Amino acid sequence: MTRTDMLTQSHLPMQAEQAESATPQWQLVCHIEEIPRLGARRVERAGFAPVAVFRTADDAVFALIDRCPHKGGPLSQGIVFGKRVACPLHNWSIGLEDGCAAAPDSGCTPRVAVRQVQGMVQLDLAHFEPGSAAADASLPIACSHDEPGSSA
Amino acid sequence: MDTLRSLDAVGPAPLPELPQGPRQRLVMVGNGMAGVRTIEEILRLAPELYDITVFGAEPHPNYNRILLSPVLAGEQTVDQIILNPRSWYEENGITLHLGNKVVAVDRTRRLVHAADGTQTPYDRLLLATGSHPVMLPVPGKDLEGVIAYRDIHDTQTMIEAASRYQHAVVIGGGLLGLEAANGLMLRGMQVSVVHLMPTLMERQLDTTAGGMLQSALEARGLRFFTGAKTQALLGNQQGRVRAVQLADGTELPADLVVMAVGIRANTDLAQSMGLHCTRGIVVSDTLQTITDPRIYAVGECVSHRGTTYGLVAPLFEQGKVCATQLARMGIGRYEGSEVSTKLKVTGIDLFSAGDFVGGKDSEEIILSDPVGGVYKKLVIRDDRLVGACLYGDTVDGAWYFGLLRERRKIGDIRDQLMFGQSHIGDTGHEGKSRAQAMADTDEVCGCNGVSKGRICKAIKEQGLFTLEDVRRHTKASASCGSCTGLVEQILMFTAGGDYSATPRKKALCGCTDLGHEEVRAAIRTPQADGSRLLSVPAVYQALAWRSPTGCASCRPAINYYLLSTWPREAIDDPQSRFINERAHANIQKNGTYSVIPRMWGGETNASELRRIADVVDKYAIPTVKVTGGQRIDLLGVKKADLPRVWADLGMASGHAYAKALRTVKTCVGSEWCRFGTQDSTRMGQELERALWRMYAPHKVKLAVSGCPRNCAESGIKDVGVIGVDSGWEIYIAGNGGIKTEVAQFLVKVATHELVLEYAGAFLQLYREEGWYLERTVHYVARVGIERVRMQVVEDSANRRALWERLQFAVDQEPDPWHEPARAGVDLRQFVPVSI
């Protein structure tokens, strides 16, 4: 059995308010087989911060802004294990579900809505407004939301 | 029947999914450091598994009992030594009963009866009842003003007495007694110490150090009566103690008597439950009571392999193992601990560990300077440090303790041993290896910019006990690790003597309890059915890894162990390699990459330089830099450009990004140099051609110099070769990095072929035995140069076999820049996905 016909969608508590106001704009990125298992692809969009799309061992996908909250390292280049990724620059461990660093490190990178439809991986562009935290390319990213897993 | 089922539930098979339905009930009796540490570990491993209830006889939440002495001495307050405030219990959903003693446990109905009449059912019971102070059975022991020194209540009684009374007698000149005496003296009392043995702290100090300690404490105002037996405690009309009477009839005035003659495991409850007890509750290596597998015990109340422990380090180790068992990992085993001691009396430094007394079969190295107040004794047996007793200068205590636990052979450093670690070359921290002398603002960890003050603050405020804790919370020593010794010293001085030392056997990472050695052995050894472990997931499954996809620490290590053990057969997993080895270039701080093409022996030519210049222009590469290894580094290359940069360069991969052979640095040698005795450039090129594409536990750098002037700096390389008139000298395990280490002489040979064979054999030995991310200097320090000589120099058949195995491994290894398909390079990573 494959999971490609399943529809998975990451939660969006951070952008819950936006989610209510904006209609999702799903944009095809690639087929899931184009992302290595326990790996990631970096998705570029002119004028916006790049997005890292991760694939776990059991073919779930997650998407985060491709910048570690520590020093802005490209998370898409890190080692993926379980539902976490280790930043390639200084080995911070970032949760794929919440974008937050494992304690005692703290800080979160914004999540991006992602889903799979019959194996096609899609990102929601509605939440990439220029000027939002996601589009601000200055480094590093400050922790913007309190979540379990992000220590105070 | 229930017992049988419970055995199944904690058996070795890990449950991948937690069972649905009501949670299991875990009840802990005792609310002290060992027990609460166990609960913390359980919450970390399996936060959803249990509903937890904790009973504490004292009215306080878990506090740091080690720091009672500083509280008594007025250096810290009770609030400062609380480790887990009540809010911690609430946040973790733990039901806390304070000041409520457990009076009975019904093992058949699995009910805990408390003093307030409540009954609490359990599925698992954890006993952490600690210890009782021993009270001497002398007349008058029940008089008012006669106390033990055990908990916050005793401490407060002593503080209170010090404000109203004049004379105190402490019975017992051990660690605790002296700390109590010192604290009472600082609070203004006149204190006498009565000690049965002829010298103080005889279990921790030899007679010389004990005598020096006594003089130092006498100079501070304490009075001592050693070799003195307490006969009776005499009271006044109000029923309060007034004097201590010794066996020789001497009467010492006393308004307060503190008994500190020892502790005994508190097994009262366990015995009433019918659990087998000797000096403590008897537990197995899984910390289960041998009587009832539903019941676990940790801490001072436990007897493990006939030993009871009273120091925090071993108790935390027990807690960690117990937690893995209760969290149903079923893999941890507690196999006993080494302990060390340090007195927490400000201004007096003493440290002891292991067998510091010695005997007929051991040797001693002693440094004694009674006037200067320094005494050091090291006990050595079979070329290993087995004990240390330090007085006055204890900065190297942590280092000696490390040598002792690792059972490292000390032959090579014996002549320096007494003078401490700072004498054994550590340029990174030369001159500031004395943690005590450092100011709070001084930087300890140069990698992460952590000051001594920040470390001390974190240790005190967050209740840190282990090096691992300090690393997690402050990042100190979490990067290059060269300040590890310094951080251990600070930990020792700040957290008190019995800080939790690094376990002797280091687990590879948090995903397993197995060490590097055990994992390597498991990969080397075929399975029962004759099959072999050839992939990372297969290793994880066979060795019951805690997390099915491992972590960023173990995956690269396992991948390397597989490839180095079974070359051409093991399945390389690019996703288990660091990004540099996946992209075959070095990631830079801004996410671009650097490219270093190979220049054999550091020699290049006009055509290569022209191609490099053209590539720099074509791809607008911002920085071109000459490296220390005689290569040209192109910095700031965009990832998408990498494949075309490689193709346009038309030069072999320099592997500057890999845990592999990096460079062979050479001087010009006899071809041009008027002093040159050997053709070092050609020798270096031959080595580089033979060894390139060789992956290793860490990076490997070589150098070849054509004469003893050593212009290629062969003395600080993993393998350094120096030409002399009659041939070549080979040096190994040098290092120019974090810790500058001069390479050690291995052998002198006559021909180029022999240089290749010896150097190759040593590197193959390192590939087969080194731990991942262990440089040759650390590998050789761990196994000893004698072993290397034996394998590579003495045993010529073994040397040739090693050399052949290395050639077999690198022979068909592809160049990832030019044969990406064969090298398994995922080229998709270089194609940008855009939307």
B687-708: pLDDT as tens digits: 999 999 999 999 999 999 999 9
The nearest CA of chain A is from the CA of B556 a distance in Å of 9
A43 part of contact set with chain B, CB < 8 Å:
yes
**Interchain pair A79, B834: CB under 8 A:** no
Among candidates A82, A84, A88 on the partner chain, residue whose Cβ is nearest the Cβ of B587: A88
The nearest CA of chain A is from the CA of B128 a distance in Å of 28
Residues of B in contact with A90 (CB under 8 A): 479
Examine the pLDDT at B16 and tell me if it is beyond 60.
no
Name the residue in chain B with its Cα closest to that of A71: B589
pLDDT-derived band at B504, boundaries 50, 70, 90: low
Q: Which of residues 475-504 of B touch A (CB under 8 A)?
A: 479
Which ranges of B246-298 does DSSP label H, i.e. alpha helix? Answer: 268-272
Query: Mean pLDDT, to the nearest integer, of B817-835?
Result: 91
How high is the pLDDT of residue B501?
52
Query: Mean pLDDT, to the nearest integer, of B509-526?
Result: 91
Candidate from B67-76, B655-664, B726-735, B774-783 with smallest mean pLDDT: B67-76
Residues of A in contact with B556 (CB under 8 A): 79
Q: Which of residues 558-597 of B touch A (CB under 8 A)?
A: 574-576, 578-579, 582-583, 587, 589-591
Residues of B in contact with A43 (CB under 8 A): 833-835
pLDDT-derived band at B676, boundaries 50, 70, 90: confident
Examine the pLDDT at B788 and tell me if it is beyond 90.
yes
Name which of B432, B441, B530, B440 is nearest B486 in CA terms: B432
**Interchain pair B835, A45: CB under 8 A:** yes
Among candidates B575, B583, B835 on the partner chain, residue whose Cβ is nearest the Cβ of A38: B575
Query: Mean pLDDT, to the nearest integer, of B498-526?
Result: 79
Among candidates A41, A82, A91 on the partner chain, residue whose Cβ is nearest the Cβ of B833: A41
Burial class (CB in 10 A: 0-12, 13-18, 19+), B424: middle
Name the residue in chain A with its Cα closest to that of B546: A82
Residues of A in contact with B832 (CB under 8 A): 42, 44
Query: Mean pLDDT, to the nearest integer, of B83-98?
Result: 93
**Interchain pair B828, A34: CB under 8 A:** yes
Structure tokens at A79: 């080692």
Query: Mean pLDDT, to the nearest integer, of B531-540?
Result: 94
How high is the pLDDT of residue B424?
53
Q: In terms of CATH architecture, what is B146-261?
A: 3-Layer(bba) Sandwich (3.50)
CA atoms of B435 and B558, how far apart (whole Å): 36
pTM: 0.66
The nearest CA of chain A is from the CA of B806 a distance in Å of 29
pLDDT-derived band at B83, boundaries 50, 70, 90: confident
pLDDT-derived band at B604, boundaries 50, 70, 90: very high
Structure tokens at B618: 């074509």
Maximum distance among all Cα pairs of chain B, rounded to whole angstroms: 106
**Interchain pair B556, A79: CB under 8 A:** yes
**Interchain pair B587, A77: CB under 8 A:** yes
Query: Mean pLDDT, to the nearest integer, of B581-607?
Result: 96
Among candidates B579, B829, B833 on the partner chain, residue whose Cβ is nearest the Cβ of A29: B833
Name which of B478, B370, B425 is nearest B716 in CA terms: B425
Examine the pLDDT at B450 and tell me if it is beyond 90.
no
Examine the pLDDT at B170 and tell me if it is beyond 80.
yes
CA atoms of A109 and B337, how far apart (whole Å): 42
Examine the pLDDT at B800 and tell me if it is beyond 90.
yes
CA angle (B649, B652, B653) in 5-degree steps: 100
B668 part of contact set with chain A, CB < 8 Å:
no
A71 part of contact set with chain B, CB < 8 Å:
yes
Examine the pLDDT at B443 and tell me if it is beyond 90.
no
**DSSP string covering B386-405:** EEEEEES--TTHHHHHHHHH
The nearest CA of chain A is from the CA of B552 a distance in Å of 6
pLDDT-derived band at B422, boundaries 50, 70, 90: low
Among candidates B556, B575, B579 on the partner chain, residue whose Cβ is nearest the Cβ of A37: B575
Among candidates B552, B589, B826 on the partner chain, residue whose Cβ is nearest the Cβ of A86: B552
Residues of A in contact with B582 (CB under 8 A): 77
Examine the pLDDT at B300 and tell me if it is beyond 70.
yes
Residues of A in contact with B835 (CB under 8 A): 27-29, 43-45, 123, 125
A9 vs B679, which has greater pLDDT?
B679
How high is the pLDDT of residue A18?
45
Candidate from B28-37, B91-100, B419-428 with smallest mean pLDDT: B419-428
Name the residue in chain B with its Cα closest to that of A39: B575
A78 part of contact set with chain B, CB < 8 Å:
yes
Query: For the segment B310-368, what is each residue's pLDDT rounded down to a tens digit?
Result: 877 788 889 989 999 998 877 788 988 777 776 666 667 788 888 877 788 889 898 88
Domains defined for chain A, CATH in brackets:
16-128 (2.102.10.10)
- Mutation target to probe the B interface, by most B beta carbons within 10 A, among A81, A83, A93, A138 is A81
Residues of B in contact with A34 (CB under 8 A): 828, 833
Query: Mean pLDDT, to the nearest integer, of B526-538?
Result: 91
Tell the CATH superfamily of the B2-131+265-326 domain: FAD/NAD(P)-binding domain (3.50.50.60)
How high is the pLDDT of residue B64?
85
Backbone dihedral angles phi then psi of residue B65, each to the nearest 5 degrees? -65, -30
pLDDT-derived band at B405, boundaries 50, 70, 90: confident
Name the residue in chain B with its Cα closest to that of A94: B552
Backbone dihedral angles phi then psi of residue B195, each to the nearest 5 degrees? -135, 130
CA atoms of B465 and B458, how far apart (whole Å): 10
Examine the pLDDT at B423 and tell me if it is beyond 70.
no
Contact in structure between B117 and B130 (CB atoms under 8 Å)? no
B328 part of contact set with chain A, CB < 8 Å:
no
**Interchain pair B579, A125: CB under 8 A:** no
A27 part of contact set with chain B, CB < 8 Å:
yes
B626 part of contact set with chain A, CB < 8 Å:
no
Query: In sequence order, what are the residues at sequence separation of 6 or more whose Cβ sits closer than 8 angstroms to the Cβ of residue B656?
Result: B586, B594, B596, B627, B629, B631, B633, B662, B663
Helix (H), strand (E), coil (C) string for B572-608: CCHHHCCHHHHHCCEECCCCCEEECECCHHHCCCHHH
Name the residue in chain B with its Cα closest to that of A66: B591
**Interchain pair A82, B548: CB under 8 A:** yes
B56 part of contact set with chain A, CB < 8 Å:
no
| A-B C-beta contacts closer than 8 Å | 84
Query: Which residue(s) pair with B666 in the sheet?
Result: B704
**Interchain pair B552, A79: CB under 8 A:** yes
**Interchain pair B547, A81: CB under 8 A:** yes
Query: Mean pLDDT, to the nearest integer, of B710-737?
Result: 94
Q: Does domain B660-814 have CATH number 2.40.30.10?
A: no
Name the residue in chain A with its Cα closest to that of B590: A73
- Mutation target to probe the A interface, by most A beta carbons within 10 A, among B44, B472, B474, B549 is B549
Q: Which of residues 504-563 of B touch A (CB under 8 A)?
A: 547-552, 555-556
A33 part of contact set with chain B, CB < 8 Å:
no
Contact in structure between B264 and B250 (CB atoms under 8 Å)? no
How high is the pLDDT of residue B203?
80
The nearest CA of chain B is from the CA of A97 a distance in Å of 16
How high is the pLDDT of residue B464?
81
**Interchain pair B835, A29: CB under 8 A:** yes
Residues of B in contact with A83 (CB under 8 A): none
**DSSP string covering B774-833:** --HHHHHHHH-HHHHIIIIII-HHHHHHHHHHHHHHHHT---TTT-HHHHT--GGGGS-E
pLDDT-derived band at B630, boundaries 50, 70, 90: very high
Query: For the segment B476-499, what is each residue's pLDDT rounded down to a tens digit?
Result: 877 666 677 778 878 877 765 455
How high is the pLDDT of residue B291?
93
Question: What are the domain boundaries of chain B?
Answer: 2-131+265-326, 146-261, 516-577, 660-814
Query: For the segment B240-265, what is each residue's pLDDT rounded down to a tens digit?
Result: 999 999 999 999 999 999 999 988 99
Structure tokens at B204: 């921790």
Residues of B in contact with A126 (CB under 8 A): none
**Interchain pair B833, A82: CB under 8 A:** no
Mean pLDDT per 10-residue run, chain A (152 residues)? 40 42 82 95 88 95 93 94 94 94 88 92 74 45 38 33
Dihedral class, residue B249 (left if φ above 0, else alpha if ψ from -120 to 50, else beta): left
Structure tokens at B238: 């109000």
Residues of A in contact with B559 (CB under 8 A): none
State how beta strands B102-106 and B111-114 pair.
antiparallel
Same fold, B146-261 and B660-814: no
How high is the pLDDT of residue B3?
39
